[in-house]
């Protein structure tokens, strides 16, 4: 909890004021039975009207002080806890933004959402409650006990006899509560995951008529969440009756032995009333304990989950970039690269080596699952190589700052991803301060300008979530334009033209060929590969062939087969 609560440091002032006010409220509360005892013994029993009036006024004044302290404490506690949770949420969000992809393997998106929302809310609550009642209740118990001893040690002794048992019981319950509520948060992760998957695949679910099946899947995880939450609350439910039972036993002992003490002159009536009053206050504080333990247990489990994110070890990043030698700009080199995904055993790339000079184009081909996308992900350092080196502009990618490295690379992913907003917003998304001409220029190159111009609102047409109102080919071309806007010196296209017709694709490549960028293009099409300076054919993560189209037609049986099959397909298309 230490790391999480270090985010409360800037609000020390508010926390200290809230604590002082809480202590003031507590002191007032502890004074009240003493004053009542005096009213009884020195006023009522001694029949002194003046003492009753004077002490009555003091009692009233103390109540007003407690009332005002309570209100101001609440204000300061809310200010500190709300600002603390805002800062903590920002920190967790910032940390997630800096995650490498390997970290997303470790922390699924749904779990991160729960940590950012419900987990942060839990620790915010614990700070607020801590400043309001969580500390006050145990202090009230301890304070009442001390005051009871001050009033009459003998009577107080009967009151605390059950305490050691209650403390052991509470310790066991807190431990159990923390582990149970940790489990509840994990269940919540699963519910979030199913909801997220469902919402993303809503079209597929409708097309496959899987609504009912998915509803059942949801009710299964929601049911598991309910069962575990009930289990955790059960623990909390038994705390209160047991605490009350223990306290009532003490109270009975105080009254029983108190009566003897009064008769034998060991105690006065007022003292007995005061000790009983303290006992009632302790019982009142105990009734809050089950609630406090629940909040504490949940917050502890949540803060552990937040700390997992904040303190997770990730790829090391260099701060300094230094000068890039102009002569090496655009160069890409893989030297004996092998790569295994984190938390898996089987390498997906083995001993891959190639070299591209500035503005050269490499086509990467291979069967599905052969490692094409994995290879591309090593360039912007989404993952680090397991062996060998990947260098960009003549420098190992691990020696770059991630910001500088990624600024130089334009990526068009396999699945086009657009954001809610206008087409213009989407195109300018990857670069600060772009002018409309730059967007249009990139759109012309990506063969999407004319299509956009035909939309009634042109570049200001709104794109729905993930581009729902655009065709697959339109999304792909917008994705390409978005990458071109950044004017990258290295451009990565991961099968990004698969949805384009032959004519549009040819026009696109005409433009891309003239771009001032080194390109790595994953493709399934021989006619696209033929445009590249060299072709790299991957088979199960290893290079099966490497060279120009002509060289591969001579040297690689696999490449020849692919080429032949595509020629036949093209002939079939025209028959």
Ligand X SMILES: Nc1ncnc2c1ncn2[C@@H]1O[C@H](COP(=O)(O)OP(=O)(O)OP(=O)(O)O)[C@@H](O)[C@H]1O
Residues making contact with ligand X (CB under 6 A):
105, 341, 344, 348, 366, 368-374, 414
The residue among 134 and 563 lying less far from ligand X, judged by its C-beta, is 563
What's the rounded Cα separation, in Å, for the pair 149 and 34?
A: 12
Smallest distance from the beta carbon of 327 to ligand X, in angstroms? 32
Smallest distance from the beta carbon of 337 to ligand X, in angstroms? 13
The residue among 31 and 543 lying less far from ligand X, judged by its C-beta, is 543
The residue among 214 and 539 lying less far from ligand X, judged by its C-beta, is 539
The residue among 100 and 370 lying less far from ligand X, judged by its C-beta, is 370
Smallest distance from the beta carbon of 390 to ligand X, in angstroms? 15
The residue among 127 and 352 lying less far from ligand X, judged by its C-beta, is 352
Helices (H) and strands (E) in the chain, counts: 22, 12
The residue among 414 and 425 lying less far from ligand X, judged by its C-beta, is 414
- Angle at alpha carbon of residue 374, lines to 368 and 375, rounded to 5°: 105
The residue among 373 and 422 lying less far from ligand X, judged by its C-beta, is 373
Smallest distance from the beta carbon of 101 to ligand X, in angstroms? 7
CA end-to-end span of the chain: 71
Q: Write out the two tokens for 16.
A: 């200290």
The residue among 125 and 340 lying less far from ligand X, judged by its C-beta, is 340
Smallest distance from the beta carbon of 341 to ligand X, in angstroms? 3
Secondary structure of residue 547 in the 3-state scheme: strand
Smallest distance from the beta carbon of 348 to ligand X, in angstroms? 4
The residue among 353 and 373 lying less far from ligand X, judged by its C-beta, is 373
Residues whose CB is less than 8 angstroms from the CB of residue 478 and which lie 6 or more positions away in sequence, other chains included: 416, 418, 423, 426, 427, 443, 446, 448, 467, 470
What's the rounded Cα separation, in Å, for the pair 324 and 401?
A: 12
DSSP summary character for residue 40? I
Contact predicate 176/233, CB 8 Å: no
Write the DSSP assignment of 401-455 as a string of letters: -HHHHHHTEEEE-SS----SEEHHHHHHTTSSS--HHHHHHHHHHTT-HHHHHHS
Exposure of 35 by Cβ count < 10 A (0-12 exposed, 13-18 middle, 19+ buried)?
middle
The residue among 415 and 555 lying less far from ligand X, judged by its C-beta, is 415
The residue among 120 and 536 lying less far from ligand X, judged by its C-beta, is 536
Produce one character per residue of 333-361: b if its CB has 16 or more CB atoms within 10 Å, e if not.
bbbebbbbbeeeeebbbbebebebebbbb
Contact predicate 336/120, CB 8 Å: no
Smallest distance from the beta carbon of 369 to ligand X, in angstroms? 4
Smallest distance from the beta carbon of 528 to ligand X, in angstroms? 14
The length of the chain in residues reads: 575
Q: For residue 145, give the nearest of 289, 291, 286, 294 by alpha carbon.
A: 286
The residue among 37 and 332 lying less far from ligand X, judged by its C-beta, is 332
Smallest distance from the beta carbon of 357 to ligand X, in angstroms? 25
Smallest distance from the beta carbon of 372 to ligand X, in angstroms? 4
Smallest distance from the beta carbon of 497 to ligand X, in angstroms? 14
Contact predicate 442/427, CB 8 Å: yes
Residues whose CB is less than 8 angstroms from the CB of residue 339 and which lie 6 or more positions away in sequence, other chains included: 347, 348, 349, 371, 374, 375, 378, 383, 385, 386, 387
Exposure of 471 by Cβ count < 10 A (0-12 exposed, 13-18 middle, 19+ buried)?
exposed
Q: Write out the two tokens for 536.
A: 């790299």
Contact predicate 245/286, CB 8 Å: no
Smallest distance from the beta carbon of 102 to ligand X, in angstroms? 8
């Amino acid at each position: 909890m230490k790391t999480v609560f270090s985010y409360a440091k800037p609000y020390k002032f508010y926390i200290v004021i809230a604590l002082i006010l809480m202590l003031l409220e507590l002191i007032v509360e502890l004074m009240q039975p003493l004053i009542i005892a005096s009213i009884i013994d020195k006023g009522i029993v001694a029949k002194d009207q003046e003492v009753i009036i004077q002490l009555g006024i003091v009692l009233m004044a103390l109540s007003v002080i407690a009332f005002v302290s309570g209100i101001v404490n609440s204000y300061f506690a809310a200010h500190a806890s709300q600002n603390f949770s805002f800062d903590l949420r920002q920190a967790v969000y910032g940390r997630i933004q800096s995650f490498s992809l390997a970290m997303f393997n470790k922390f699924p998106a749904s779990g991160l959402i729960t940590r950012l929302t419900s987990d942060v809310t839990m620790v915010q609550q614990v700070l607020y409650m801590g400043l309001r009642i969580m500390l006050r209740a145990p202090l009230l118990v301890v304070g009442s006990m001390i005051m009871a001893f001050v009033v009459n040690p003998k009577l107080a002794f009967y009151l605390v006899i059950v305490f050691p048992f209650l403390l052991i019981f509470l310790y066991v319950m807190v431990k159990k509560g923390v582990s149970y509520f940790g489990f509840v948060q994990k269940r919540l992760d699963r519910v979030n995951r199913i909801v997220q998957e469902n919402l993303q695949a809503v079209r597929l679910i409708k097309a496959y008529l899987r609504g009912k099946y998915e509803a059942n899947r949801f009710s299964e995880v929601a049911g598991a969440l309910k069962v575990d939450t009930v289990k955790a609350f059960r623990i909390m439910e038994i705390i209160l009756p047991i605490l009350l039972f223990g306290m009532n036993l003490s109270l009975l002992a105080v009254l029983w032995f108190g009566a003897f003490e009064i008769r034998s002159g060991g105690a006065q009536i007022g003292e007995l009333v005061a000790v009983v009053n303290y006992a009632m206050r302790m019982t009142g504080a105990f009734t809050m304990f089950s609630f406090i333990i629940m909040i504490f247990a949940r917050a502890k489990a949540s803060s552990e989950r937040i700390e997992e994110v904040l303190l997770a070890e990730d790829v090391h990043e260099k701060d300094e970039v230094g000068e890039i030698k102009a002569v090496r700009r655009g160069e890409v080199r893989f030297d004996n690269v092998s790569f295994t995904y984190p938390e898996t055993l089987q390498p997906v790339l083995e001993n891959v080596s190639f070299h591209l000079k500035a503005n050269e184009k490499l086509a990467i081909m291979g069967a599905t699952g052969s490692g094409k996308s994995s290879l591309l992900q090593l360039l912007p350092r989404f993952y680090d190589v397991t062996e060998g080196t990947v260098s960009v502009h003549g420098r190992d990618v691990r020696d770059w700052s991630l910001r500088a490295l990624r600024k130089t690379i334009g990526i068009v992913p396999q699945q086009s991803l657009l954001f809610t907003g206008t087409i213009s917003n989407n195109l300018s998304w990857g670069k600060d301060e772009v002018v409309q001409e730059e967007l249009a220029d990139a759109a012309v190159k990506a063969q999407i300008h004319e299509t956009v111009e035909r939309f009634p609102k042109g570049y200001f047409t709104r794109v729905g979530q993930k581009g729902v109102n655009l065709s697959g080919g339109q999304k792909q071309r917008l994705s390409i334009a978005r990458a071109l806007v950044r004017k990258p010196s290295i451009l990565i296209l991961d099968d990004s033209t698969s949805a384009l017709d032959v004519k549009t694709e040819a026009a696109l490549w005409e433009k891309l060929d003239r771009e001032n960028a080194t390109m790595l293009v994953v493709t399934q099409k021989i006619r696209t590969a033929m445009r590249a300076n060299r072709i790299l054919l991957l088979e199960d993560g290893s290079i099966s062939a490497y060279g120009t189209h002509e060289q591969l037609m001579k040297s690689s049986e696999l490449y020849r087969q692919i080429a032949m099959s595509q020629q036949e397909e093209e002939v079939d298309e025209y028959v």
